Amino acid sequence: MLRNDDVRVVSSAIKIPLPSKRPTCPMRTAHSHIANATNSIAQLVNSFASHSTEFTRSVLQKSSLLCSATLSLTGDRKRACPIRRMASLSLSEEAQQKARQNEERVLISEVLVRNKDGEEMERKDLEAEAVQALKACRPNSALTVREVQEDVHRIINSGYFSSCMPVAVDTRDGIRLVFQVEPNQEFQGLVCEGANVLPAKFLENSMRDGYGKIINLRRLDEAISSINNWYMERGLFAMVSAVEILSGGILRLQVSEAEVNNISIRFLDRKTGEITMGKTKPETILRQITTKKGQVYSMLEGKRDVETVLTMGIMEDVSIIPQPEDTGKVDLVMNVVERPSGGFSAGGGISSGITNGPLRGLIGSFAYSHRNVFGKNQKLNISLERGQIDSVYRINYTDPWIQGDDRRTSRTIMIQNSRTPGTIVHGNADGNGSLTIGRITGGIEFSRPIRPKWSGTAGLVFQHAGVRDEKGIPIIKDCFSSPLTASGNTHDETLLAKLETVYTGSGDHGSSMFVLNMEKGLPLLPEWLSFTRVNARARKGVEIGPARLHLSISGGHVVGNFPPYEAFAIGGTNSVRGYEEGSVGSGRSYVVGSGEISFPMYGPVEGVIFSDYGTDLGSGPTVPGDPAGARKKPGSGYGYGFGIRVESPLGPLRLEYAFNDKKERRFHFGVGHRN
């Protein structure tokens, strides 16, 4: 056992005070036991006096100092309040040195252990425990007072006894040394106060082995440590703060659980670290965290709260500082450093719909974003993407958590004007030259978590779409006289009701993802299109030693009157590699599967081998105008190859070389993960 220099042994009660307060043991009872221990040592000194005058003087010096000797049980907050039982002599260093110089040894003829009344003990097992604890005191040995005192401490430290007094008896055979001990009570019951989150079953199990047995303070120390460890493993601010053995063998535990009293937000300057005024409303931050007033504070939950606030995207640094109060509760101060809330950005990328030459696929982007509109974490994004063929103008306004909603529902309002190449469906072999599909869309979406790892989205989107030739003139038929719109007009109009659910999971050995999307065209007006589209995709990653296996599958189907440009295009960088974009098929239905094995090469560079397969399930002819059949697309195909990937701030940069089943070869370059 470790030493504890403030130990008081009391026969009727043992208490561990709160660390911030003075010991709560009854002083009157403790004083009587200290007086008894002092008288016993004095008797021992008197017995030794007849054998050595010099030794008597040295012992008498110690006797005067022993009047201040105390024994108690205290808790150490830093060590989760384990009980430590060690006798402490309040001897000054100078007095200890002087007493040590004058120590003399006295021959002890006999050493006995008796009960507190000096009679033979009924419990021989307890007598054996006390005898086993003795180290220096043996029959026919020469002892000093210090060695006797140390053995008293050892008996107390065995944990079975609440008091121990050495008594010297002068007999005709010599000096008999008797240790009069008082055992602890038998454990008959448990009362625990203040444990609001500690499971009663755990508490019972930690104490069950000691029921009906003499209370051993060392075993009690272990039980209390297990309780404190239970709190510590869960990051809870709590501990056993007091222990008392009541009459009748009832053990009372007092548990202190630090409840959250108040939570405040403190904004710090990014450069100086000084307290400053923040732009974010405090209630916007507070509703993100799960720690609430009145809960027992958990450091693990606090860590999750810090991560949650960081995911808002408006904070550069977040930390939580607990500040204990005298009432036993704790105040929490969350220090936050805000990021710049808005700014301009520029970038570039590659369009997946361009098939002729890499330069034609390059696009540039310019955007303005504000991450914290009105100090409510609402986000405004205005962006422009422009290439030789592609162009996208987009305005998004997102409220990530609608005020007054308790289910974390977000709302996004979107307006977009886009122009994308029509080659993925209609190819390049037509007399109209390059076709472009123009879409003007606007809508609103609501998203929320459904359950752990699952989220859902519902929304309404209105779309005004049509096809133009390379001169920008609206057209309704291609060079094969096949229709390009479903309504027969230059533009189709559709009101889409959207439902989507997403699952994302991760573990020690891999990750998984599943997305199910359903769209329904609502014909509220006669000219509006009516069709239903279902699309699903799944991905699974598995760790295989240093390598990773990625499996993915996707599929979909459309029912109703839909335009050709809404058909599922198969082939390309994010579909079947080895083919140009959309050159495998364009169908009302489709299935695409892929398998990849990636392995580390050097630093952020990974190598990859892959194989893809896709098919329109024979649905190409059912698309209005049969654009796939007119362009002699096979309807199914596979590809395989190898490549490298490099991690970057934009996501993985993918360079791949693929072969298809027609013995054609093709490079593919992409940014980000495959769909």
Q: What is the pLDDT of residues 603-635, one digit of tens each?
A: 889 999 999 999 999 999 999 999 999 999 999
- Which tens digits make up the pLDDT trace of 155-182? 999 999 999 999 999 888 889 999 999 9
What sign for the dihedral angle of Cα 59, 61, 67, 71?
A: negative
The answer to whether 614 touches 637, Cβ cutoff 8 Å, is yes
Q: Is residue 60 part of a domain?
A: no
Is residue 227 located within the same domain as residue 289? no
Q: How far is the CA of 108 from the CAs of 133, 168, 323, 626, in angstroms?
A: 18, 9, 57, 114
Tokens for 79, please give them.
């060590």
Q: What is the average pLDDT across 49-67?
A: 34
Among 16-20, 298-302, 407-411, which is the least confidently predicted range? 16-20
Query: In this structure, are 430 and 519 located in the same domain?
Result: yes
- Residue 630 vs residue 73, higher pLDDT: 630
Residues β-bridged to residue 551 = 540, 595
Q: How far apart are CA 40 and CA 33, in angstroms?
A: 10
Question: Which of 56-60, 126-130, 266-270 shows the lowest per-residue confidence on average (mean pLDDT)?
Answer: 56-60
Q: How many CB atoms lie within 10 A of CB 220?
A: 23
Q: Which pLDDT does position 345 carry in this prediction?
A: 85
Q: How far apart are CA 81 and CA 289, in angstroms?
A: 30
- Which spans in 114-209 are helix H? 124-133, 145-157, 200-207
Q: Is 598 within the bounds of a domain?
A: yes
* pLDDT band with cut points at 50, 70 and 90 for residue 495: very high
When divided into structural domains, the chain yields a total of: 4
The answer to whether position 43 is within a domain reads no
Mean local confidence (pLDDT), 375-388: 92
Please give the Cα distance from 337 to 319 (Å, whole number): 9
Q: Other C-beta atoms within 10 Å of 378: how many?
A: 20
Mean pLDDT of 179-195: 93
The band of 347, judged by pLDDT with boundaries at 50, 70 and 90, is confident
CA nearest to 158, candidates 190, 181, 136, 188: 181
Query: Does residue 26 lie in a domain region?
Result: no
* Separation of alpha carbons 425 and 570, rounded Å: 9
Q: Give pLDDT, residue 208.
A: 85
Q: What percent of the chain has pLDDT over 70?
A: 82
Tokens of 618: 């024979």
Tell me which residue range forms the domain holding 171: 101-183
Given a cut of 80, whether residue 14 has pLDDT beyond it is no
Largest CA distance in the chain: 133
Burial of 586 (0-12, 13-18, 19+ CB in 10 A): buried
Q: Is 601 helix (H, G, I), strand (E, B) or coil?
A: strand
The region of weakest confidence among 42-51, 148-157, 184-193, 427-436 is: 42-51
CA distances from 399 to 394, 405, 425, 446, 599 (A): 17, 12, 36, 10, 40
Question: For position 480, which CATH number holds?
Answer: 2.40.160.50
Query: Is the residue at 649 inside a domain?
Result: yes
Mean pLDDT, the chain, integer:
83
Token representation of residue 269: 């300057």
Residues 125 and 268 in one domain: no
Same domain, 174 and 111: yes
Shared-domain flag, residues 383 and 238? no
| Banded model confidence at residue 390, pLDDT cuts 50, 70, 90 | confident
DSSP letter at 195 equals: -
> Is 75:58 a contact under the CB 8 Å cutoff?
no
Same domain flag for 119 and 224? no
For residue 613, give the H/E element and its range. strand 605-615
pLDDT at residue 75 tops 50: no
- In this model, does residue 655 exceed pLDDT 70? yes
- Which has more pLDDT, 545 or 672? 545
Among the three residues 338, 367, 391, which one is the final residue of a domain in this structure?
338
pLDDT in tens, 221-255: 999 999 999 999 999 999 999 999 998 899 999 99
Rounded-to-integer distance, Cα 338 and Cα 52, Å: 80
Contact 243, 227 (CB under 8 A): no
Phi-psi region of 224 (alpha: psi -120 to 50; beta: other; left: phi over 0): alpha
Read off the pLDDT of each residue in 376-394 and give the average, rounded to a whole number: 91
pLDDT higher at 181 or 8: 181
In the predicted model, what is the mean pLDDT of residues 123-132?
Answer: 93
The pLDDT of residue 66 is 32
Give yes or no for residue 416 having a pLDDT over 90: yes
Position 135 scores a pLDDT of: 94
Same domain, 575 and 525: yes
On whether the CB atoms of residues 6 and 23 are closer than 8 A, the answer is yes
pLDDT (average), residues 288-309: 94
CA atoms within 13 A on the CB side of 567: 34
- Spatial distance between the Cα atoms of 148 and 144, rounded to a whole number of angstroms: 7
In a domain, 49, yes or no: no
Q: Inform me whether the pLDDT recorded for 83 exceeds 50.
A: no
More confident residue, 383 or 46: 383
**Is the pLDDT assigned to residue 469 strictly greater than 70?**
yes
Look up the CATH number of the domain holding residue 159: 3.10.20.310
Task: Count other Cβ atoms within 10 Å, centred on residue 309.
Answer: 24
> Do 408 and 553 fall into the same domain?
yes
Asked if residue 50 is part of any domain, the answer here is no
The stretch 516-535 carries a mean pLDDT of 96
- Residues 348 and 405 reside in one and the same domain: yes
3-class DSSP state for residue 653? strand
Residues 555 and 620 in one domain: yes
Report yes or no: 220 and 16 within 8 Å, Cβ to Cβ: no
Pick the last residue of a domain from 338, 364, 392: 338
pLDDT attached to residue 172: 85
- H or E stretch at 226: helix 217-233
pLDDT confidence of residue 101: 44
Rounded CA separation 377/232 (Å): 34
Give a yes or no: residue 303 inside a domain.
yes
Give the Cα separation of 21 and 25 in Å (integer).
12
Q: Are residues 515 and 434 in the same domain?
A: yes
By the 8 A CB rule, do 416 and 394 touch? Answer: yes
* Contacts of residue 639, Cβ cutoff 8 Å, sequence gap at least 6: 576, 577, 578, 579, 611, 612, 658, 659, 660, 661
pLDDT-based confidence at 17, cuts 50/70/90?
A: very low
Mean pLDDT of 180-206: 92
Of 224, 257, 290, which residue sits at a domain end? 257
* Predicted local confidence at residue 528, as pLDDT: 96
Residue 68 pLDDT:
29
- Secondary structure letter of residue 43 according to DSSP: H
Report which of residues 481 and 619 the model is more confident about: 619
Extract the runs of DSSP E, i.e. beta strands, from 508-546. Answer: 510-521, 531-544
Judge whether residue 192 has pLDDT over 90: yes
pLDDT at 94: 55
Name which residue leads in pLDDT, 651 or 319: 319
What are the phi and psi torsion angles at 503 (to 5°)? -120, 130
651-656-657 Cα angle (round to 5): 175
Residue 351 confidence (pLDDT): 62
Question: Residues with Cβ < 8 Å from 551, sequence gap 6 or more?
Answer: 539, 540, 541, 542, 593, 594, 595, 596
- Do 171 and 299 belong to one domain? no
Contact (Cβ atoms closer than 8 angstroms) between residue 428 and residue 356: yes
In angstroms, how far is the first alpha carbon of the chain from the final one? 62
Give phi and psi for 226, each to the nearest 5.
-65, -35
The answer to whether 227 touches 198, Cβ cutoff 8 Å, is: yes
**Closest Cα partner for 414 from 392, 397, 426?**
397
- Percent of the chain predicted with pLDDT > 90: 67
Does the pLDDT value for residue 283 go beyond 90? yes
